[in-house]
Amino acid sequence: MATAAPDGTCDVSPRGDPPGFTHVLDERTIAILNRPGNRRVDGSRNVRDNPHVGLIFVIPGRGDTLRINGTAQLLHDAPFFDEMVVSEHRPRLVLLVCVEEVFFRCSKALLRSSLWDPASWAPEEVAPRAQIAKALEWPDEPWSASRTTTARATPTSCIADSNAAVPIDDARSRADRSGRHGRA
Protein backbone atom coordinates (compact mmCIF):
# COMPACT_ATOMS: atom_id res chain seq x y z
CA MET A 1 0.00 0.00 0.00
CA ALA A 2 1.39 3.38 -1.01
CA THR A 3 0.33 6.52 0.83
CA ALA A 4 1.54 10.11 1.07
CA ALA A 5 1.51 12.57 3.93
CA PRO A 6 0.20 16.09 3.37
CA ASP A 7 3.81 17.33 3.01
CA GLY A 8 4.38 14.84 0.17
CA THR A 9 6.53 12.32 2.02
CA CYS A 10 5.59 8.81 0.94
CA ASP A 11 5.23 5.45 2.61
CA VAL A 12 4.94 2.04 1.01
CA SER A 13 4.01 -0.82 3.31
CA PRO A 14 3.38 -4.45 2.44
CA ARG A 15 -0.02 -5.86 3.25
CA GLY A 16 -1.06 -9.47 3.03
CA ASP A 17 -2.70 -12.47 4.57
CA PRO A 18 -4.14 -15.72 3.31
CA PRO A 19 -6.34 -15.49 0.19
CA GLY A 20 -9.42 -13.46 0.99
CA PHE A 21 -7.69 -10.77 3.06
CA THR A 22 -9.24 -8.26 0.67
CA HIS A 23 -13.00 -8.23 0.92
CA VAL A 24 -14.95 -6.95 -2.11
CA LEU A 25 -17.98 -5.05 -0.83
CA ASP A 26 -19.30 -3.87 -4.20
CA GLU A 27 -18.08 -2.80 -7.65
CA ARG A 28 -16.34 0.31 -6.27
CA THR A 29 -15.41 -0.62 -2.68
CA ILE A 30 -12.95 -3.04 -1.09
CA ALA A 31 -11.93 -3.62 2.51
CA ILE A 32 -8.42 -4.71 3.51
CA LEU A 33 -7.40 -6.07 6.88
CA ASN A 34 -5.09 -3.72 8.73
CA ARG A 35 -3.09 -6.24 10.74
CA PRO A 36 -0.57 -5.48 13.47
CA GLY A 37 2.92 -5.45 12.05
CA ASN A 38 5.97 -3.53 13.14
CA ARG A 39 3.83 -1.19 15.23
CA ARG A 40 4.55 1.77 12.96
CA VAL A 41 1.47 3.65 11.84
CA ASP A 42 2.94 5.68 8.97
CA GLY A 43 0.41 4.48 6.39
CA SER A 44 -2.53 4.80 8.78
CA ARG A 45 -1.49 8.32 9.76
CA ASN A 46 -1.14 9.22 6.09
CA VAL A 47 -4.60 7.84 5.26
CA ARG A 48 -6.05 9.90 8.09
CA ASP A 49 -4.45 13.08 6.75
CA ASN A 50 -4.47 12.33 2.99
CA PRO A 51 -6.89 9.57 1.91
CA HIS A 52 -5.28 8.81 -1.49
CA VAL A 53 -3.82 5.28 -1.70
CA GLY A 54 -2.24 3.07 -4.32
CA LEU A 55 -2.38 -0.71 -4.03
CA ILE A 56 -0.61 -3.42 -5.98
CA PHE A 57 -1.65 -7.05 -5.68
CA VAL A 58 1.05 -9.64 -6.39
CA ILE A 59 0.12 -13.32 -6.53
CA PRO A 60 3.02 -15.80 -6.24
CA GLY A 61 3.66 -17.53 -9.53
CA ARG A 62 1.71 -15.01 -11.61
CA GLY A 63 3.47 -12.44 -13.72
CA ASP A 64 0.76 -9.82 -13.95
CA THR A 65 -0.23 -7.56 -11.08
CA LEU A 66 -3.47 -5.81 -10.21
CA ARG A 67 -3.24 -2.11 -9.37
CA ILE A 68 -5.91 -0.15 -7.59
CA ASN A 69 -5.90 3.58 -6.87
CA GLY A 70 -8.51 5.28 -4.74
CA THR A 71 -9.33 6.99 -1.50
CA ALA A 72 -9.37 5.25 1.84
CA GLN A 73 -10.55 5.53 5.39
CA LEU A 74 -9.92 3.45 8.49
CA LEU A 75 -12.88 1.69 10.10
CA HIS A 76 -12.93 0.42 13.66
CA ASP A 77 -16.04 -1.69 13.19
CA ALA A 78 -18.55 -2.69 10.53
CA PRO A 79 -20.92 -5.64 10.01
CA PHE A 80 -18.63 -7.20 7.40
CA PHE A 81 -15.75 -7.53 9.92
CA ASP A 82 -17.22 -10.92 10.88
CA GLU A 83 -16.60 -12.11 7.31
CA MET A 84 -12.92 -11.12 7.53
CA VAL A 85 -11.83 -13.34 10.42
CA VAL A 86 -8.36 -14.85 9.92
CA SER A 87 -7.01 -17.54 12.28
CA GLU A 88 -9.93 -16.88 14.63
CA HIS A 89 -9.00 -13.18 14.89
CA ARG A 90 -11.67 -10.65 14.00
CA PRO A 91 -10.07 -7.50 12.58
CA ARG A 92 -9.74 -4.53 14.89
CA LEU A 93 -9.12 -2.14 12.03
CA VAL A 94 -9.94 -2.27 8.31
CA LEU A 95 -8.90 -0.04 5.46
CA LEU A 96 -11.96 0.79 3.35
CA VAL A 97 -10.94 1.78 -0.19
CA CYS A 98 -13.23 3.55 -2.64
CA VAL A 99 -11.84 2.43 -6.00
CA GLU A 100 -11.17 5.16 -8.54
CA GLU A 101 -8.90 3.23 -10.94
CA VAL A 102 -8.25 -0.46 -11.44
CA PHE A 103 -5.99 -2.02 -14.02
CA PHE A 104 -3.67 -4.92 -14.66
CA ARG A 105 0.04 -4.42 -15.26
CA CYS A 106 1.92 -6.67 -17.61
CA SER A 107 4.44 -9.18 -16.35
CA LYS A 108 7.59 -7.72 -17.95
CA ALA A 109 9.17 -6.45 -14.72
CA LEU A 110 8.51 -9.68 -12.83
CA LEU A 111 9.78 -11.75 -15.75
CA ARG A 112 12.95 -9.66 -16.09
CA SER A 113 13.62 -9.91 -12.35
CA SER A 114 13.05 -13.71 -12.29
CA LEU A 115 11.13 -13.05 -9.08
CA TRP A 116 9.46 -16.46 -9.02
CA ASP A 117 12.63 -18.38 -9.96
CA PRO A 118 14.31 -19.64 -6.75
CA ALA A 119 17.60 -20.05 -8.65
CA SER A 120 17.75 -16.25 -9.01
CA TRP A 121 17.30 -15.54 -5.31
CA ALA A 122 20.43 -14.21 -3.59
CA PRO A 123 19.48 -12.87 -0.15
CA GLU A 124 23.16 -12.74 0.82
CA GLU A 125 23.63 -9.88 -1.67
CA VAL A 126 21.84 -7.48 0.68
CA ALA A 127 23.22 -6.56 4.08
CA PRO A 128 21.21 -8.00 6.99
CA ARG A 129 18.33 -5.85 8.24
CA ALA A 130 20.08 -5.24 11.57
CA GLN A 131 23.13 -3.77 9.82
CA ILE A 132 21.02 -1.46 7.69
CA ALA A 133 18.98 -0.33 10.71
CA LYS A 134 22.14 0.35 12.72
CA ALA A 135 23.62 2.40 9.89
CA LEU A 136 20.47 4.51 9.62
CA GLU A 137 19.99 4.94 13.38
CA TRP A 138 23.68 5.56 14.23
CA PRO A 139 25.16 7.07 11.06
CA ASP A 140 28.44 8.12 12.73
CA GLU A 141 29.44 4.53 13.45
CA PRO A 142 30.94 2.65 10.50
CA TRP A 143 29.50 -0.72 9.64
CA SER A 144 30.84 -3.49 7.52
CA ALA A 145 28.67 -4.92 4.76
CA SER A 146 28.62 -8.67 4.29
CA ARG A 147 30.45 -8.20 0.99
CA THR A 148 34.11 -7.36 0.35
CA THR A 149 33.66 -3.60 0.71
CA THR A 150 32.97 -1.51 3.76
CA ALA A 151 30.06 0.84 3.33
CA ARG A 152 28.52 3.58 5.44
CA ALA A 153 24.96 4.68 5.10
CA THR A 154 24.00 8.31 5.42
CA PRO A 155 21.21 9.57 7.66
CA THR A 156 19.15 10.07 4.51
CA SER A 157 17.85 7.23 2.41
CA CYS A 158 20.28 5.59 0.05
CA ILE A 159 20.29 3.67 -3.19
CA ALA A 160 22.35 0.50 -2.86
CA ASP A 161 23.97 -1.71 -5.43
CA SER A 162 25.74 -4.95 -4.60
CA ASN A 163 28.93 -3.14 -3.53
CA ALA A 164 28.15 0.20 -1.90
CA ALA A 165 25.56 2.61 -0.60
CA VAL A 166 25.16 5.88 -2.52
CA PRO A 167 23.36 8.82 -0.91
CA ILE A 168 20.27 9.80 -2.87
CA ASP A 169 21.57 13.37 -3.30
CA ASP A 170 24.67 11.99 -5.08
CA ALA A 171 22.53 9.68 -7.22
CA ARG A 172 20.22 12.56 -8.16
CA SER A 173 23.11 14.82 -9.13
CA ARG A 174 24.58 12.04 -11.29
CA ALA A 175 21.17 11.54 -12.93
CA ASP A 176 20.91 15.28 -13.53
CA ARG A 177 24.36 15.33 -15.17
CA SER A 178 23.48 12.35 -17.35
CA GLY A 179 20.18 13.93 -18.41
CA ARG A 180 18.10 11.11 -16.88
CA HIS A 181 15.10 12.31 -14.93
CA GLY A 182 12.84 9.25 -14.92
CA ARG A 183 11.52 7.24 -12.02
CA ALA A 184 12.85 3.85 -11.04
38 located within any domain: yes
Q: Are residues 91 and 17 in the same domain?
A: yes
Mean pLDDT of 13-35: 86
> Looking at 78, 93, 112, which one is the last position of a domain?
112
Question: Which of 92, 112, 132 is the C-terminal boundary of a domain?
Answer: 112
Tell whether 132 and 73 lie within a shared domain.
no
Tell me the percentage of the chain whose pLDDT exceeds 90.
Answer: 29
Statement to judge: residues 13 and 43 lie in one domain: yes
Q: Binning pLDDT at 50, 70 and 90, where does residue 162 land?
A: very low
pLDDT at 173 over 80: no
- Domain residue limits at 155: 122-175
Whole-angstrom CA distances from 87 to 25, 57, 83, 98, 134 are: 21, 21, 12, 27, 34
Q: Give the per-residue pLDDT at 7.
A: 93
Least confident of 103-107, 119-123, 152-156: 152-156
pLDDT of residue 164: 37
pLDDT reading at 167 higher than 60:
no
**Maximum mean pLDDT: which of 102-116, 138-152, 164-178:** 102-116
49-65 pLDDT, tens digit per residue, is 999 999 999 888 888 88
Domain count, the chain: 2
C-alpha to C-alpha distance for 115 and 58, rounded to whole angstroms: 11
Q: Tell me whether residue 24 is in a domain.
A: yes
Model confidence band, residue 37 (pLDDT cutoffs 50, 70, 90): low
Average pLDDT over residues 36-57: 86
The answer on 162 and 106 residing in a single domain is no
pLDDT value at residue 141: 64
Q: Is residue 132 within 8 Å of residue 106, measured between CB atoms?
A: no
Neighbour count for residue 150 (Cβ, 10 Å)? 10
Q: What SS3 class is residue 84?
A: helix
C-alpha span between 4 and 47 (Å, rounded): 8
pLDDT at 14: 85
Mean pLDDT across the chain:
75
Q: Residue 127 has what pLDDT?
A: 84
Does 103 share its domain with 164? Answer: no
The closest alpha carbon to 32, from 49, 18, 46, 15, belongs to 15
Please tell me the pTM assigned to this model. Answer: 0.66
Same domain, 12 and 99: yes
Q: Check: CB of residue 123 under 8 Å from CB of residue 97.
A: no
Q: Name the CA radius of gyration of the chain, rounded.
A: 19
Q: pLDDT per residue over 127-153, tens digit each?
A: 888 888 888 877 676 655 443 333 333
